[in-house]
Chain A
Amino acid sequence: MAVSLKLRAALLSALLLAVFVGAWQLATRPVAAAAGPALTPEQIEYQKMLGKDPGAASASTSSGFPTPAQFAATAAGHLARPFYDNGPNDKGIGLQLAYSLGRVGLGFGLAVLVAVPLGFLIGMSPLVHRALDPFIQVLKPISPLAWMPLALYTIKDSSVSGIFVIFICSVWPMLINTAFGVSGVRREWLNVARTLEVKPQRLAFEVILPAAAPTILTGMRISMGIAWLVIVAAEMLVGGTGIGYFVWNEWNNLSLTNVMFAITVIGLVGMGLDQLFARAQKAVTYAE
């Protein structure tokens, strides 16, 4: 087998992309206007008075859905100037992304600060585990966006509310995974530490944390995935800035090319974030 699996997979991916773009191009090609009833001279005159050009309109009509070429032109435009700021409704895509990533980073960071220590506690103490379990079970399935009205009312700041929503959605997977990882640390490693009279703090950081790290990072990766899903929806709701707001704003502008470009960017950034955590996960994983 001369060609490696990786190369063949890449070729197949490229082929699929080409087929997709081809289908897209075909679906959005301009179609000849249906030969409607010929307009009377009066009607043509009337149309011209309304500012329309019936002659041009009858030549061809586009489907309204952007073509690949239009998409590429828009994308190139955005990528050429990612950080411009022309006021609240016209900011570069890079700037909007930075707002979203900032919110996700803050909310996620806060969630780490809460979930990892609390998860440690739950994992170490069966009492705390049983006491907190009902709360976790009830709070976990709540859609993060359902918190939005409460957050807006109590926090009174749309941007901070967004951060809160990210916090609340990323806290659960991390909390549960940390608790699971900590409670699953092999008995014999703990016994080794006990026979060596290891102090609690050293036990936590040098035995339990590295032993549970792969599970904790899995939780973080899941949390980050959810956070990135939720930020778009949250920003659509609260508006102002961010990639979610950008999508909603461009929908109001009926600029589907911009919406499509934003969707693509959301996907790519989400993939990047996931890759980041996959790397970190690999770095802390150990073989037994």
Chain B
Amino acid sequence: MPNEFLRIEALAKTYPGAGEAVFDGVDFEMRRGEFVCIVGHSGCGKTTILNVLAGLEQASAGHVFMDGREVAGPSLDRGVVFQGHALMPWLSVRRNVAFAVRSRWPAWSAKQVDAHVEQFVRLVGLDHAIDKKPQALSGGMMQRVGIARAFAIQPKMLLLDEPFGALDALTRGTIQDELLRICAQTHQTVFMITHDVDEAILLADRILLMSNGPRARVAEIVVNTMPRDRQRATLHHDPAYYRIRNHLVDFLVSRSKDLSHGRAPAKPVEVSP
């Protein structure tokens, strides 16, 4: 793949005591600046794959290379937005983000840190709440702080573990727009887990479809054929939208379960519906 940034090779995870692997032979690549969503049923190991990419978990087999280097442990090069916002409740928004910034640039002065923090909190539109504690914020606001924290360390890659799962549809929409805007600005490479087919179509350049576990795999890669400046408001007027959506839903509803137990192809097929 030209301009390859991330390569995952024959990744597998077997939990101790379990007979069969949760997933095995997971193979895919990502380009720099690409937004990739991974979609699949619960239990197929999406979060485990993301944790392996983050370096928080060890795979049982296989390798992950980022930028030509093997991923061996957690690194500031990969920012993570967790499923629960994972903000530290005893710190204000400012200090939560500053915690990350100081980790990235330990030599910076307090003033530099603060300026940087304010810039990224402004980016997610929370400058009015910067000195509030997380418990004073709504779920959507907390998740935005989590995003600001991940972006603030300017990682080479961003990993999002179903960040909007717990949010209501309206809030989710606004934050999706925000995420799109920030990613367009920063040309961030993003790997994101989602359960929401529409979210995947709006955000992703390519969508990885995982078959069901055990021995799940990335069975198919769907290329988003819609232009990159797609808008949430006009998305559903594009005929391509329904073709992609139908393809994804068909896969999830009927085909994914037939491809469990390692019946998915060893190398995922790329389709452009």
Contact = CB atoms under 8 A, between A and B. Distances in A.
A189 to B, nearest CB: 6
A197 interface: yes
B111 to A, nearest CB: 20
- Does more than half of chain A's interface fall in helix, strand or loop, or is it mixed? helix
A206 B99 contact: yes
A175 interface: no
Interface string B64-90: 000000000011101110101010111
A148 to B, nearest CB: 41
Contact of A195 (B74, B84, B88): B74
B115 to A, nearest CB: 19
Interface in A244-284: 284
Contacts of B56: 191, 194-195
A197 B100 CA distance: 9
A197 B99 CA distance: 11
Interface string B97-130: 0011001100000000000000000000000000
A213 B90 CA distance: 10
Contacts of B91: 210
Nearest to A198: B103
Nearest to B84: A188
Nearest to B150: A195
B113 to A, nearest CB: 14
A196 B104 contact: yes
A195 B90 contact: no
Max chain B C-beta neighbours (<10 A), residue from A186, A195, A211, A286: A195
A195 B135 contact: no
Given A287-B89, A288-B89, A195 B55 contact: yes
B133 interface: yes
The contact size tier of chain A is: 20 to 34
A192 interface: yes
B75 A197 contact: yes
A165 interface: no
B143 to A, nearest CB: 13
A52 to B, nearest CB: 72
B78 A195 contact: yes
A38 B125 CA distance: 99
Given A188-B82, A287-B135, A195 B54 contact: yes
A215 to B, nearest CB: 13
Interface in B26-59: 54-56
A288 B82 CA distance: 16
Interface residues of B, number: 23
B153 A286 contact: no
A188 B244 CA distance: 35
A211 B88 contact: yes
A207 interface: yes
Nearest to A206: B99
A207 B100 CA distance: 12
B36 to A, nearest CB: 19
B86 A189 contact: yes
Contacts of B103: 196-198, 202
Contacts of B153: 196
A191 B86 contact: yes
Interface in A181-206: 186, 188-189, 191-192, 194-198, 202, 206
Contacts of A191: 56, 80, 82, 86
Contact of A194 (B74, B84, B90, B133): B74
Contacts of B88: 189, 192, 207, 210-211
A190 to B, nearest CB: 10
Given A188-B84, A206-B99, A286-B133, A195 B79 contact: yes
A211 B89 CA distance: 9
Max chain A C-beta neighbours (<10 A), residue from B75, B90, B99: B90
A197 B133 contact: no
Nearest to A210: B90
Contacts of B79: 195
17 contacts: A188-B82, A192-B82, A192-B86, A192-B88, A194-B56, A195-B75, A195-B78, A195-B80, A196-B74, A196-B76, A196-B100, A196-B103, A197-B75, A198-B103, A206-B99, A210-B91, A213-B90
Given A192-B80, A192-B100, A210-B91, 13 more contacts: A188-B82, A188-B86, A191-B86, A192-B86, A192-B88, A194-B55, A197-B75, A197-B76, A211-B90, A213-B90, A286-B89, A286-B90, A288-B89
Interface of A: 186, 188-189, 191-192, 194-198, 202, 206-207, 210-211, 213, 284, 286-288
